[in-house]
A and B are shown apart, each in its own frame.
Chain A
Amino acid sequence: MALTREDNSPLFAGTVAGTLRLIFYLALAMVLMVLDHRNGWIWRVRYSMSVVVEPVYRLAGLPAAGMRTLTVAFADRKLLTEQNQRLREDLLLANAKLNRMAAVAEQNQRLKGLLDTQRSLELNVQLARVIGMDLGTNQQRLVVNLGARDDIKQGQVVIDAHGVIGQIVEVLPTTSIVMLVTDPNHATPVVVERTGLRTVAYGVREGDQLSLPNVPMAADIRAGDKLLSSGLGGRFPPGFPVGEVLSVGQSQSGMFLEARARPTADIDRSDDVLILHDQAEPVGPPSPAAPVGPPASLAPPPGEVAAPAGARSAATPASTTSTVQP
C-alpha cells in the first residue's frame, strides 16, 4: 500500500468543494426521483433502452436458470425412477384387470349363447325419460317423453336396468303413459326362478308391492325367491326380473298361499327407462283373419257382421293389461 498519495484526501476535514459537489449530486438525484415519482417516465426510458437492458437481464438470469436446469436434471432422475416404478405397477394392475375382464367377457359370451339357444334376446330398446309420475292408490302410472311420433305403440314393455317397470297403456303424440307392475289393475305372468313355478303377480292397492294371491298350498316358494317374467300371455318377454318375494302367508280364503313381492325395478327412482321394441311373439291362437270373402255388395245384412268385430274389441282391453287367462 502506498502511503505517498495523501494530498487530495485530507485526513480530517473535507473540502468545501467536495461537500458542494455532494449537495449538487444529491439534489440532482432528488430531482430525478421526484420527477420519476410524479411522472413515471422511467418506464419510457427503460422501454427505449430495452435493447440494452434485456440482454443484461438474460445475463443476470443465467446462474439461476443454470441452477434450475441442474436441479431439474437431478430431480428428474429420481422422479423418473419413481414414475417408472409406479407406471410399471399400474401396468401390472391394468393387465390383471384386463385378464379378469376377458374372463368375464368370455363368461358373458357363454351365458349369452346359452340364452340365445333358448330365445334370441337382442334387446331392441329405446331410451325414454320419465317426465311425470302418478303413484296413487288406485293407479300407478308414469309418463315418459316418447310418443306416437317416436313409434311407440300400446303394449310395449318398459324396463330399467334391474327389471320390468310396466307397459305402455296409452300413447299420445309426444308422450306415453306407462302402467307400472305395481298398479292394482296390472297383472304380470311370472315364474319363480328357483322352482319354475308359474303364477301371476298383481299390483296391490297399498303401493309399491306385488301380490301373488293364488299360489298352491303345496308350492315351494319362500322369501327371497326371484320372480322372472314367464312370457306367458305374449306380452312380457320371458326372463326379465320382476320381483323378489318378501313374505309368504295364507290367503284370506285359506285355499292358497299368498306371497308378497317387491319389484326389482327402481320404480320410484329411475329417471331413464328403456322401452322394448321387440314385442314377444303372441302366444295363443292367431288373431282372426280379416274376412276375405264375397265383396261388400254381396254382404249379408249388417247385424251379422257386427259380431266378430265386437269379439275383437272385447279382446283388446284384456291384452292391454296382459292378464293371463288361466
Chain B
Amino acid sequence: MNKQRLSALWVAGTLAFALLSMLVPLPGVLQPFKPYWPALVLIYWALESNDRVSLGLAFVVGLAADLLDGLLLGEQALRLCAIVFIVLRFRSRLRFFPMWQQTLAVMALLVNDRILLLIVRVFAGDALPPPSWWISPFVGAALWPFVFLLLDDLRMRLRIQQQ
C-alpha cells in the first residue's frame, strides 16, 4: 500500500515537473526548440504503467497545462488525450520496439500532435505559425531516448513496480 502510494506520488511528481518544464521561460531564440515535456512524460508512463495512465489522467493533466499556459482551455487536454489514446492502443507493440523505432514512433506522435494543434489554432482563427514552430517535435524525439532512460533508471532505483 505504501509502495503504491509512493509510486503514485512519483508519477504525479514527474508529471508536475513536466508541466513546470513546459512553463520555464527560455530565451527567444531557444523558444521554438522547447520540447513538449508533458507529452514525453505521459508517453513514458503510458508505455510503462498501463493502467495508471488513462485518458482521464491525460485530460486532467492537459487541463492543468491549459490553466497554467493560459492559451485556450481544453486545447492541451485534447492533444494529450489523442497522444495517450494512440500510445495505449499500440502500447504492446511500442514497448518492444528497439529504441530507434520507438524514437521514430514518438516523433510521429509529436508531429501528429503539432498537426492537431495547427488544426485547433486555425479553427480558432489564429495565423499560421512560422516554420520554426515545426522544430519542436524533432527536438522532443531526439530527447526521447534520454527521457526514457532517465525515467526508467529512476524508476528502477526507487523500485517502483509497474502496476
Contacts and interface: CB of A to CB of B under 8 A. Distances in A.
Given A9-B91, A29-B75, A64-B26, A22 B67 contact: no
Determine chain B's interface SS by DSSP, over half rule: helix
A60 interface: yes
A63 B19 CA distance: 14
Nearest to A1: B95
A30 B66 contact: no
Interface string B37-81: 000000000000011000110110011001110101111011001
Contacts, number: 95
B interface residue count range (under 10 / 10 to 19 / 20 to 34 / 35 or more): 35 or more
A31 B74 contact: yes
A8 B120 contact: no
A25 B88 contact: no
A9 B95 CA distance: 11
A25 to B, nearest CB: 5
Nearest to B93: A11
A32 interface: yes
B15 to A, nearest CB: 13
Contacts of B93: 11
B162 A26 contact: no
Interface string B83-98: 0010011011101000
Contact of A25 (B77, B95, B124): B77
A55 to B, nearest CB: 11
A33 B67 contact: no
Contact of B20 (A2, A14, A56): A56
Nearest to B16: A56
B68 to A, nearest CB: 6
Given A9-B92, A11-B93, A56-B68, A45 B23 contact: no
B66 A42 contact: yes
B88 A33 contact: no
Task: Give the residue among A22, A43, A63 with the most B Cβ atoms within 10 A.
Answer: A22
Given A25-B56, A30-B74, A60 B51 contact: no
28 contacts: A5-B50, A6-B92, A9-B92, A11-B92, A14-B89, A18-B55, A18-B85, A18-B89, A22-B82, A25-B55, A25-B77, A25-B81, A28-B74, A29-B59, A32-B63, A32-B74, A33-B124, A37-B124, A42-B66, A42-B70, A45-B67, A46-B67, A53-B68, A56-B23, A57-B68, A60-B21, A61-B24, A63-B24
Contacts of A11: 92-93
A14 B92 CA distance: 11
Nearest to A46: B70
A53 B67 contact: yes
Interface string A129-156: 0000000000000000000000000000
Interface in A1-29: 1-2, 5-6, 8-11, 14, 18, 21-22, 25-26, 28-29
